[in-house]
Amino acid sequence: MSQEDQVTKYIGQKKVKQVGKTENVEIIKVTYEDGSVEHFSHLMLSKIVTLEPIDLSALRDKRVEPMVEVVLQILRDWGIKLSELPYFAAKLNQSLDYNYKQALTMLWGDWMPKPQDPEDVDLITVDRVLRSKDAK
């Protein structure tokens, strides 16, 4: 174990217990001392790990500010016009919303015939999912 591995580290208020790679090289699995687990990209993890606990606002800043910097560089490199920024933001949000809904639809499909939209999920299915979590 390297000396760096022995240094106490935090992500926000949570003390890191263990860090390990998952099947995908780009994703890092972090286990906290409280037993909870989170997965981070290597890029994100390198920006948010600290040697002292920090509050959630500071953690949010550490998570978002490096991404803003990269996105601004991309926008500059592509030469986007200021007048195109609202359209770009709308298309980005539209794409994110679509992918989020597709992921939810896939997850609900394990419990019912695949819904066309997450809003099509009935309360019987919701109850079955919640009860299955209680049984574990």
Q: What is the pLDDT of residues 27-41, one digit of tens each?
A: 888 999 999 999 999
Give exposure, 94-107, as e/b (b: 16+ Cβ within 10 Å).
eeeeeeeeeeebee
**Length in residues, the chain:** 136
Tens of pLDDT along 31-86? 999 999 999 998 899 999 999 999 999 999 999 999 999 999 999 999 999 999 99
